[in-house]
Amino acid sequence: MSSRMRDDFSLTAEQREMRDLVRTIARDRIAPLAAHVDEAEVYPAEPLKRLGEQGLMGLYIPEAYGGTDMGTLAFCLAVEEIAWACAATATIYLVQYAGGWPIVAAGTEAQKRRYLPRLASGEITAAFSLSEPGAGSDAASLSTRAVRKGDRYVLNGVKLWVSNGSKASVITLFATVDPGRGKGGVTAFLVEPTFPGFALGKLERKMGIRGSPTVALHLTDCEVPVEHRLGEEGEGYKLALRVLDGSRPAVGAEAVGIAQAALDAAVAYAKERQQFGQPIAAFQGIQFMLADMAMQVHGARLLVHHAASLVDRGAVTTVLESSLAKCFAADAAMKVTTDAVQIFGGYGYTREYPVERFMRDAKITQIYEGTNQIQRLVIARELIRR
């Protein structure tokens, strides 16, 4: 039984039906494998295949290309349910959006028809590659160079922290056509791993989300046909920011799912664990911890839903709301999972119970898609600008 508060009053019948389908898959197919996925660092291929078979990989893709076009809120609902069961699977799922949505937003008709139907069905996986050794938060300082030579671009450089990178059939990758132009030189490309000069680098061994592969990419005179450029030269930086504005609520949703799982586990354990002749849930100290955890989870969920709804309504900008949702939800997840470990006591520090995994998984939500320190800068800048 979940400690989740009633939160479906503002959802459409279609959104509730989709969420319930994902919830069933998450609990029946994904959650039972989560501990093994984490312990063995294995790719959760079977659950992802199931999500594709149910049409859940294409929630953001227009119907004309095989998707359901249900929007950002629906996608966030799905991410939360999957993250409740397994954060690694949720990461793979949401990166499918980060890598595929740029094709929806800026792709040519040929690009859309080449990739979107296969992404929607789950036949192929997408990745998103922006970061480099010298360009993390400072995304305008890319050093990966793209030089046009006739009907193709030649790319040279190293990309880091590419989630799904070793499994992706298409990678939305950002390089610069002119380092002197700063963000005005950043350009997006659709890179396939079969292109000459493309090579996978180091597979990272991570603290959490261990079933989600994160790799480096090495581009050595990598030949990318001109028709694989996404948008025009110099439009990549704005496209990357648009992607992040849309994906940050989804990262917030992942954080909410992890936190909800930790809260559910803590409530159940507190009702069962006996000390001094009564369940520890009877002690006010534990009760206050659970109450604070519930407020954090519910508040984070509402912020995520608000930001996602603004995206769906076509708001002129959602920079502030997306950063608020991502930052608050990630911090909440870290606090809630840490408190869950504390409530479990010594058992919480062992792998016999899942709360230590929840805490390890939660940490990444404070780091990727823009660190929470960067989010605070963005929030402050938007408040002052407005």
Which residues are known catalytic residues?
369
Contact 106, 55 (CB under 8 A): no
Beta-bridge mates of residue 148: 153
Contact 257, 90 (CB under 8 A): yes
* Residues 30, 66: Cα–Cα separation, whole Å: 24
Amino acid in position 352 = E
Amino acid in position 355 = V
Q: Which fold has domain 127-234?
A: Butyryl-CoA Dehydrogenase, subunit A; domain 2 (2.40.110)
Which pLDDT value is given to residue 311? 92
Which pLDDT value is given to residue 329? 98
Which pLDDT value is given to residue 323? 97
Which pLDDT value is given to residue 135? 80
> Coil, strand, or helix at residue 132?
strand
* Residues 334, 315: Cα–Cα separation, whole Å: 30
Retrieve residue 24's tokens.
């069933």
Which pLDDT value is given to residue 262? 98
Residue 171 neighbours by CB distance under 10 Å? 23
Report DSSP state, residue 9.
T
Which pLDDT value is given to residue 201? 96
Which pLDDT value is given to residue 119? 97
Which pLDDT value is given to residue 1? 54
Contact 99, 126 (CB under 8 A): yes
Quick one: which H or E segment has residue 361?
A: helix 355-363
Residues with Cβ < 8 Å from 43, sequence gap 6 or more?
37, 92, 167, 211, 213
SS (H, E, C) 257-324: HHHHHHHHHHHHHHHHCEECCEEHHHCHHHHHHHHHHHHHHHHHHHHHHHHHHHHHCCCCCCHHHHHH
Rounded to 5, what percent of the chain is helix, strand, coil? 60, 15, 25
Q: Which fold has domain 237-385?
A: Butyryl-CoA Dehydrogenase, subunit A; domain 3 (1.20.140)
* Residues 292, 198: Cα–Cα separation, whole Å: 49
Which pLDDT value is given to residue 141? 87
Retrieve residue 300's tokens.
């984070």
Which pLDDT value is given to residue 7? 64
Sequence ranges of the domains in the chain: 13-125, 127-234, 237-385
Retrieve residue 88's tokens.
């690694």
* Residues 31, 56: Cα–Cα separation, whole Å: 17
What averages of pLDDT result for each successive group of 10 residues across the chain (386 residues)? 67 96 97 97 96 95 96 97 98 96 97 98 96 84 96 97 96 96 96 98 96 98 98 96 91 98 98 95 97 98 96 91 98 98 97 97 96 96 93
Task: Provide CATH code, domain 13-125.
Answer: 1.10.540.10
